[in-house]
Each structure stands twice: as structure tokens, then as C-alpha cells.
């Protein structure tokens, strides 16, 4: 045994020595390369361009390299990186041709530095035909299934790499606390802990095999920081966030992803407290580099350096904008469609306004990433990676994950003596209606074979609409469709036509919500469903047939006016390529829903308070008449979700009643399925600091676990917390734990305990 232990120790030491030697060899190569590069070549490495700058649209509508354009970009402007931003999705062979042509030209230069190609693969590979598209992050958060999200990230990494691309602009670490924001669907919701747990798992899934392996890609934490909290809800607009809130809610998930080893980070396009983040040396250097310890690549978002001049107006000229951004700490500029960045930065270095040593730092980071990704060894699409593309099990995973997101918000009975309306039976006659019923965009949302996701013709023929999924499940004879192609097609809102179509059915399934959109085109002033959809829902209810509302949307659209008339409501989010099947499986009981809301679902646009601060929004005005005014009351609370089973909690216990600094807080609770169907349930543990020197959060989610139970089955679930979980960030920006009383809540059970240093 001792000999075996010595051999293991010796092997580990040898591996460490070899790794250190390899790292030193790489660093030596980087230093030698930088020493031999011209200023123009160094600035070129910091320049990222849109693929349309080196290509034209070919006869099949896909990008084809234009030799003259590519030569100019590579040889004159020395570009080091290219990204994909728009255009027709390409198959694996077309991607191979494009990437190979680009790398051929890059390797024809003196230093043979390969191109680093980046892409937004947010819920699967956006621009590759035949790729697997999974639920958007907002739905994954509802699943509370970390293993599932990790598997999705791994498949996304493999299919991205199979496309010849080794840098993915994901995961999104923006916290979804402003539902008007048009990128809400890309977030993991309003809770920092869920965001942190999902993001860390995805970073590891993307990178942990080793960046040079054909199953990995470089991840990108984005968008650092506060991007998702615009004051007016519009994309890329200013946010007002206190330093205290920044450290409490917006930075912890980035710190966790940095600690997990994420290679790159993309910066918030907007400003915080009047300072554009791309210009903030405090955030990029003092916070990100010095305090958080990030050593990887800092990349801008689209056009964000020149916008310091054109939008933020803190730079009198584009040249000054470049200087400000580079001084702040930017390593690479997503330019992406003109060459002023290259020209200005080159001039700034040659004039001595920016030191060559400063750009050497960024170039070293960029070259290091290229070495780590194996691009210097082989920059071309790898056969091992291509072999991982389009496997059947990926579609199975897409269905499993779509099912896991399904969140049942309402399920009424038709009478006191009857069972709940759901699940349906296959003998029921069903009318399918609404703008989401016969269109694929609402199922997928943004970054789905196109930037906006609204190009219906780009989806694979195998992808089913909701109507087609119903027909496949119960037969065309049991399904009547009153749904038309085109989300804005006025035929979808013909209330008289709907009433006539409903005459001979038992139920109406109404698919409402939002069409597909991405970024600014999805801007809203009001979260309320548009008038046409409201009137359609009212007309459906007036038929007297029970209405089942299916919501296909990337953010909470307000349904307060129509909710009382709906007999059942299923929130499907953006469920992806197998979303229609997952919805049908849920409505017919093949899948028992277990999703829970990862955000507080508001009743009013102006009241989108988050669950952790709810008690502070309740205004209680007590006077002689005893009048009391209660504030925030969501349509549905954070963490809410129904099941076809019933679950009860008992035996909540703690290992101690008083804890001190180094203690572990062990929590145990028993959960039982008291229903007649097997089901999965999300056990959520909340913690409340009852009194503190500064107003504490009402409660915070600290742990969660998914539990599968058969009818009548019980299981004991155990959680372990540390005293760090009791901490908060005070006004001095210190994370502190104070003596006092705390409360644990799991389900309908609570338990109090004390902390004393």
C-alpha cells in the first residue's frame, strides 16, 4: 500500500513538473514572438472584426471568403480575431471551408499567428445548420437542475468546436432583475445564487477537458458588470447601482466564474452611475484584475469603444475613445466593421501616448489563449470534433431539458367534484390557437439559427410547431388548429373565427407570449401582453370552453387581466428545438412538471421588486383609523411551481441552535410524495437574517436540490451551509457576519437559530 501511494505521489509530481515545463516553454514562445512583432502586428492581435469584412454571400446564401478582402484584413491590418454576428446558418462542411480559408491566409504571414474565431452559442450553436438548440437560460434556471445545464454546455462546446470555432461568448452572468430588459431570457433569473451555480457548472463544462481538446471551448463571462439593470429597461442604457449592491448581487457570480477558470470576459456596453464600464479603470483594473484576480482576456462588446465618443460622449474624438478604453484595461476591441481602432491605436503607441509595454500585456494574453486552445498546433477544424456533431442523444437531451423547464402556474378544477383540468386525456378534442402555436420563433427566441431567431425558414424541417406536436401525439382527428404562420399575422387574432373553430372541441389551448427577438429590437415600455392577445384570450374564455394558456416568452409578460378566466397556465419560456414536444408531454401527463419560477412574476410593469427585498416594498401607514397599505404583490412568487403530485415537508432540523465562526450548519428535512403520480420536486432552502445593523434581505435562496419521488415515497434531504452564507456586504463594502438570530425556511417549515462570534 505504501509503495502504491509513493508511485501515485511520484506520478503527480512528475505531471506537475511537466506542466510547469510546458507553461514555461509557452511563455518563452510568447515573449520571443512579441519581441519580433511590429506595433501594427501587435495592434492587429487586439482587433476583432465581423466575418462579413472578409467574406461575401455565396450562391447558397452563406458566407464565402473573398480572397481580396481577406488578404487586406490579414496582411494590411494584421487582424487577430474574427467573430460571427449574422447571416445564414452554415453546415459543418461550409464552416470547415470558411475557417480553413481564413487560417490558410493567417498562416501565410511572417509569424504564422492563427485567427481566434468567436461566436455567440447561447443555448446551442446559433449559426450552424443542424445544431441542437436547447432551452434558453431563463428556462434552465427554472429547472434548478445543475447536471442538466452542465450537459447542455458540454454539447454546445462540442458542436461549437465541430464548427471549427474555439471561443464561445457564453455563459451570461447578468442577473435578471429588470424584466423589461430585452435580454432577460439569456439570464438565469433574479437570484445571485442560482446564477452563480449555473454559471460555474457551465464554465467547467466548456473548459475543464483542457482548451486544446476537441471537446472544449474558451468560455466568456458576460457582461461585466451591471448590464442587465438598465434604469429604463432598454438595452445598453445607463444603470444606477450602488457599490454595496454591486458587491452583494452583481459581482459574486463573476468571482465564482473567475475562480472556476473562465478564460475570457466581455464588458457591459452601458454605464454605471454615469461611468461607461469600457472606460472604468476602477472596475476593469482595481476590481476585476486586482481584487477578483482575473488574468484572462478582456474583450469589448459590439462597437463599444467608438461609442465612448458617439454615445457616451466622454471622448471628443474616436482616437481619444481608443486611448480611454486601452488605458482602462481593454485587451481586444470587437470593432467590428471598420479599421479606425487599428489606425488610432497604432498612432497612439507610435506617438508614445500609450506605451508599447501596455499593448504587449494584452497581446501576451491573446497569444496565450491561442496557444492554450491549440491553435498554433492546428488551427483547422478537427476531425475528432466533427465526429461529435449532431448525435441523437443531443436531441434526447434537448427534450429532457425542455421538459425540465416547464413551470405550471395554475391548474384549476372544472367543478368541486372533478379533478384538475390537467393533465388532458388523448380522447379530448382540443383546439390549438394563438400566435405561438404555429410558429417556431416563439419556441426558440434569440440566437436561434439567426441573431433574432425570427427567421422561420432557417429552422430544420424536423422541428415541430405546437400544432404539429399535438397532432403527432393524439392524432389529427383530435386536434383543430386555428393558428397561422407569422407571429404578426392578423388571422391569429380573429376572435369570431376562434369562436367558430371552438364549437366542437372540449378544450382550447392558447399559445400566447412573445415572438422571437434579440437585444434592442425586443425593447418594451410595458410588460402587459399586447391588446390583440388580451382580446383573443377573452374571446376564448367567452366560448365557455376551458382555456389552457401556454406562455412562450423570454420574460414575464403581464397577464393580470386574463388570468382569472384561464383554467390552467403553463409557462414554457423559450424551450428550444424539442419545446413543442415537451409542452405536449406536460399537458398530457407524460411529463410531470417540476419547474419553479426563477423570478418574481409581476402584476404591473412598474412593480418588479425581487423576492429578496419584498418586505422593504411594503408600506405600512398606521394612523388613528388603522389604515394599512401593502405594496409588492407578485402574480406568482419567486420559486413557485405546481406539480401533478403533492409534496409535503416534515422533520426540519438543525445540528445546533447556536453557531460560531467556523461551524458548519447542517440542515435536514424530509419530503414525501403524497400524490398518486411519480414526480420531481425542487427543494429550496431560504435563509433570513432577522435583524442587522443595515436593512437585511427579506430572505435569500442558499441551497436547492431536485428530488425524484414515487407515490408515497419519502426522502430525507440534507444541506450544509457555512457561516459565510450568513454574511452580507455593508456600506463599507466589507462582507460581514453579525451576531443575531437567523431563520431557515424549507417549504412551509421554518427553524430559527443564533450566531455568536
207: domain CATH number?
A: 3.20.20.300
- Unique residue bearing C-alpha cell 392577445: 533
Asked whether residue 260 is domain-assigned, the answer is yes
679: domain CATH number?
A: 2.60.40.10
**pLDDT above 60 for 128:** yes
**pLDDT above 80 for 623:** no
Rounded CA-CA distance 149/126 in Å is 17
- Which of 87-91, 492-496, 539-543, 595-599 is predicted least confidently? 87-91
Q: What is the pLDDT of residue 627?
A: 46
Asked whether residue 52 is domain-assigned, the answer is no
In 3D, which of 76, 66, 82 has the Cα closest to residue 336? 82
The answer on 419 and 539 residing in a single domain is yes
Rounded CA-CA distance 212/214 in Å is 7
What's the whole-number mean pLDDT along residues 79-95?
93
- The pLDDT tens digits of the residues spanning 640-678 come to 999 999 999 999 999 999 999 999 999 999 999 999 999
- The pLDDT tens digits of the residues spanning 273-290 come to 999 999 999 999 999 999
Asked whether residue 527 is domain-assigned, the answer is yes
Asked whether residue 405 is domain-assigned, the answer is yes
**Beta-bridge partners for 641:** none
**pLDDT above 80 for 20:** no
Q: What is the pLDDT of residue 415?
A: 76
**pLDDT above 90 for 449:** yes
**Grid cell for residue 98:** 470558411
Rounded CA-CA distance 177/183 in Å is 11
- Which of 14-28, 55-69, 434-448, 655-669 is predicted least confidently? 14-28
Q: How does residue 633 score in pLDDT terms, banded at 50, 70 and 90? A: confident
Q: Looking at residue 354, what DSSP letter applies?
A: S
CA within 13 Å, CB half, 637 = 9
The answer on 231 and 155 residing in a single domain is yes
Rounded CA-CA distance 283/254 in Å is 12
Q: Looking at residue 290, what DSSP letter applies?
A: I
- The pLDDT tens digits of the residues spanning 520-548 come to 999 999 999 999 999 999 999 999 999 99
Q: What is the pLDDT of residue 418?
A: 75
The answer on 654 and 557 residing in a single domain is no
Asked whether residue 715 is domain-assigned, the answer is yes
**pLDDT above 80 for 10:** no
CA within 13 Å, CB half, 156 = 35
Q: Beta strand pairing status for 658-659 and 749-755?
A: parallel
Q: What is the pLDDT of residue 745?
A: 98
- The pLDDT tens digits of the residues spanning 208-243 come to 999 999 999 999 999 999 999 999 999 999 999 999
Q: What is the pLDDT of residue 626?
A: 47
**Grid cell for residue 198:** 449555473
- The pLDDT tens digits of the residues spanning 679-695 come to 999 999 999 999 999 99
What's the whole-number mean pLDDT along residues 621-629?
49
548: domain CATH number?
A: 3.40.50.1700
User: Exposed, middle or buried: residue 648 (CB in 10 Å: 0-12, 13-18, 19+)?
Assistant: middle
The answer on 520 and 429 residing in a single domain is yes
Rounded CA-CA distance 109/489 in Å is 53
- The pLDDT tens digits of the residues spanning 163-198 come to 999 999 999 999 999 999 999 999 999 999 999 999
The string of DSSP letters for 307-337 reads HHHHTS---SSHHHHHHHHHHHT--BEE--S
Please state, for a pLDDT cut of 90, what percent of the chain lies above it. Answer: 90
Write out the residue range of the structural domain in which residue 698 sits: 645-755
Q: What is the pLDDT of residue 617?
A: 52
**pLDDT above 90 for 79:** yes
Q: How does residue 628 score in pLDDT terms, banded at 50, 70 and 90? A: very low
Marked catalytic residue, from 120, 191, 301, 304: 301
The answer on 579 and 660 residing in a single domain is no
Q: What is the pLDDT of residue 1?
A: 55
The answer on 672 and 565 residing in a single domain is no
- The pLDDT tens digits of the residues spanning 710-728 come to 999 999 999 999 999 999 9
Cis peptide before 148 (omega within 30 of 0): no
Task: Provide Rg for the chain, Cα atoms.
Answer: 27
CB-CB neighbours of 560 under 10 Å: 12
Q: Are 651 and 718 in contact (CB under 8 A)?
A: no
The answer on 654 and 574 residing in a single domain is no
Domain final residue, candidates 268, 289, 304:
268
Q: How many residues does the chain have?
A: 757
- 146-162 and 392-405 helices cross at what angle (nearest 10)? 140
Domain final residue, candidates 559, 587, 615:
587
Reply yes or no on whether 301 is catalytic.
yes
Q: What is the pLDDT of residue 358?
A: 99
Asked whether residue 207 is domain-assigned, the answer is yes
Asked whether residue 111 is domain-assigned, the answer is no
Asked whether residue 120 is domain-assigned, the answer is no
Mean pLDDT score of the chain, rounded to an integer? 95
The string of DSSP letters for 639-670 reads T--B-SS-EEEEEEEES-SEE-TT-EEEEEEE
- Unique residue bearing C-alpha cell 473562465: 262
Domain final residue, candidates 587, 607, 630:
587
CA within 13 Å, CB half, 52 = 10
Q: What is the pLDDT of residue 85?
A: 79
The answer on 582 and 463 residing in a single domain is yes
Rounded CA-CA distance 535/688 in Å is 42
Residue spans of alpha helices (H) in 170-280 = 192-207, 243-245, 252-259
Q: Are 230 and 524 in contact (CB under 8 A)?
A: no
Counted domains in the chain:
3
The answer on 572 and 665 residing in a single domain is no
The answer on 534 and 662 residing in a single domain is no
First-to-last CA distance in the chain? 43
The answer on 517 and 423 residing in a single domain is yes
The answer on 670 and 565 residing in a single domain is no
Amino acid at each position: 500500500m505504501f509503495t502504491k501511494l509513493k508511485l501515485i505521489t511520484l506520478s503527480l509530481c512528475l505531471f506537475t513538473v511537466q506542466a510547469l515545463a510546458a507553461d514555461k516553454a509557452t511563455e518563452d514562445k510568447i515573449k520571443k514572438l512579441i519581441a519580433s512583432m511590429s506595433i501594427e502586428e501587435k495592434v492587429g492581435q487586439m482587433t476583432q472584426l465581423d466575418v462579413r469584412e472578409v467574406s461575401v454571400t455565396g450562391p447558397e446564401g452563406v458566407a464565402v471568403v473573398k480572397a481580396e478582402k481577406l488578404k487586406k484584413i490579414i496582411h494590411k491590418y494584421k487582424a487577430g480575431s474574427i467573430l460571427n454576428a449574422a447571416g445564414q446558418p452554415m453546415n459543418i462542411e461550409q464552416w470547415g471551408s470558411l475557417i480553413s480559408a481564413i487560417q490558410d491566409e493567417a498562416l501565410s504571414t511572417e509569424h504564422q499567428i492563427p485567427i481566434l474565431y468567436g461566436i455567440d452559442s447561447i443555448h446551442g450553436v446559433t449559426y450552424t445548420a443542424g445544431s441542437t438548440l436547447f432551452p434558453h437560460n431563463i428556462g434552465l434556471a427554472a429547472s434548478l437542475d445543475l447536471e442538466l445545464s452542465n450537459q447542455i454546455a458540454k454539447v454546445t462546446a462540442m458542436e461549437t468546436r465541430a464548427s471549427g470555432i474555439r471561443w464561445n461568448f457564453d455563459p451570461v452572468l447578468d442577473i435578471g432583475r429588470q424584466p423589461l430588459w430585452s435580454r432577460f431570457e439569456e439570464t438565469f433569473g433574479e437570484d445571485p445564487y442560482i446564477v452563480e451555480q449555473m454559471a460555474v457548472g457551465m464554465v467547467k463544462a466548456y473548459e475543464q477537458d483542457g482548451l486544446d481538446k476537441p471537446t472544449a471551448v474558451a468560455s466568456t463571462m458576460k457582461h461585466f458588470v451591471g448590464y442587465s439593470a438598465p434604469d429604463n429597461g432598454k438595452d445598453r442604457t445607463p444603470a444606477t447601482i450602488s457599490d454595496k449592491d454591486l458587491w452583494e448581487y452583481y459581482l459574486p457570480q463573476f468571482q465564482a466564474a473567475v475562480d472556476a477558470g473562465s478564460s475570457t470576459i466581455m464588458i457591459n456596453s452601458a454605464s454605471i452611475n454615469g461611468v461607461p464600464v469600457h472606460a472604468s479603470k476602477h472596475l476593469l483594473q482595481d476590481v476585476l484584475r486586482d481584487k477578483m484576480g482575473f488574468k484572462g482576456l478582456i474583450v469589448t462588446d459590439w462597437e463599444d469603444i467608438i461609442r465612448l465618443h458617439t454615445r457616451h460622449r466622454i471622448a471628443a474624438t474616436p482616437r481619444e475613445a481608443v486611448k480611454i478604453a486601452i488605458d482602462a484595461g481593454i485587451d481586444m476591441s470587437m470593432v467590428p466593421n471598420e479599421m479606425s481602432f487599428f489606425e488610432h491605436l497604432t498612432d497612439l503607441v507610435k506617438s508614445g501616448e500609450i506605451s508599447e509595454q501596455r499593448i504587449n500585456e494584452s497581446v501576451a494574453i491573446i497569444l496565450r489563449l491561442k496557444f492554450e486552445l491549440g491553435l498554433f498546433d492546428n488551427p483547422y477544424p478537427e476531425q475528432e470534433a466533427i465526429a461529435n456533431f449532431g448525435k441523437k442523444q443531443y436531441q434526447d437531451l434537448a427534450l429532457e431539458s425542455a421538459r425540465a423547464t416547464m413551470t405550471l402556474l395554475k391548474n384549476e378544477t372544472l367543478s368541486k367534484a372533478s379533478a384538475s383540468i390537467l393533465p388532458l386525456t388523448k380522447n379530448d378534442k382540443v383546439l390549438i390557437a394563438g400566435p405561438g402555436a404555429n410558429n417556431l420563433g416563439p419556441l426558440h427566441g434569440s440566437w436561434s439559427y439567426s441573431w433574432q431567431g425570427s427567421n422561420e425558414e432557417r429552422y430544420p424541417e424536423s422541428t415541430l410547431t405546437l400544432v404539429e406536436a399535438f397532432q403527432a401525439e393524439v392524432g389529427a382527428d383530435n386536434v383543430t388548429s386555428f393558428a397561422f404562420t407569422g407571429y404578426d399575422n392578423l388571422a391569429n387574432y380573429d376572435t369570431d373565427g376562434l369562436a367558430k373553430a371552438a364549437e366542437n372541441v372540449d378544450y382550447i389551448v392558447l399559445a400566447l407570449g412573445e415572438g422571437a427577438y434579440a437585444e434592442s429590437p425586443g425593447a418594451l415600455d410595458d410588460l402587459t401582453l399586447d391588446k390583440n392577445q388580451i382580446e383573443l384570450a377573452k374571446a376564448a374564455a367567452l366560448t365557455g370552453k376551458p382555456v389552457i394558456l401556454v406562455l412562450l416568452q423570454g420574460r414575464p409578460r403581464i397577464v393580470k387581466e386574463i388570468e382569472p378566466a384561464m383554467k390552467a397556465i403553463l409557462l414554457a419560456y423559450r424551450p428550444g428545438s424539442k419545446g413543442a414536444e415537451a409542452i405536449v408531454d406536460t399537458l398530457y401527463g407524460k411529463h410531470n412538471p417540476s419547474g419553479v419560477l426563477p423570478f418574481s412574476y409581476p402584476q404591473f410593469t412598474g412593480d418588479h421588486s425581487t423576492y429578496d427585498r419584498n418586505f422593504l416594498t411594503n408600506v405600512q401607514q398606521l394612523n388613528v383609523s388603522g389604515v394599512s397599505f401593502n405594496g409588492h404583490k407578485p402574480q406568482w412568487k419567486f420559486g413557485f411551481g405546481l406539480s401533478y403530485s403533492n409534496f409535503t415537508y416534515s422533520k426540519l432540523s438543525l445540528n445546533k441552535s447556536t453557531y460560531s465562526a467556523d461551524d458548519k450548519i447542517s440542515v435536514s428535512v424530509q419530503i414525501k410524495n403524497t400524490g398518486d403520480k411519480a414526480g420531481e420536486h425542487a427543494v429550496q432552502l431560504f435563509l433570513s437574517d432577522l435583524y442587522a445593523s443595515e436593512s437585511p434581505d427579506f430572505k435569500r435562496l442558499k441551497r436547492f436540490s431536485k428530488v425524484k419521488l414515487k407515490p408515497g415515497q419519502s426522502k430525507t434531504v440534507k444541506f450544509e451551509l457555512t457561516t459565510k452564507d450568513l454574511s452580507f456586504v455593508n456600506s463599507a463594502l466589507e462582507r460581514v457576519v453579525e451576531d443575531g438570530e437567523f431563520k431557515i425556511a424549507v417549504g412551509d417549515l421554518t427553524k430559527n437559530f443564533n450566531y455568536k462570534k
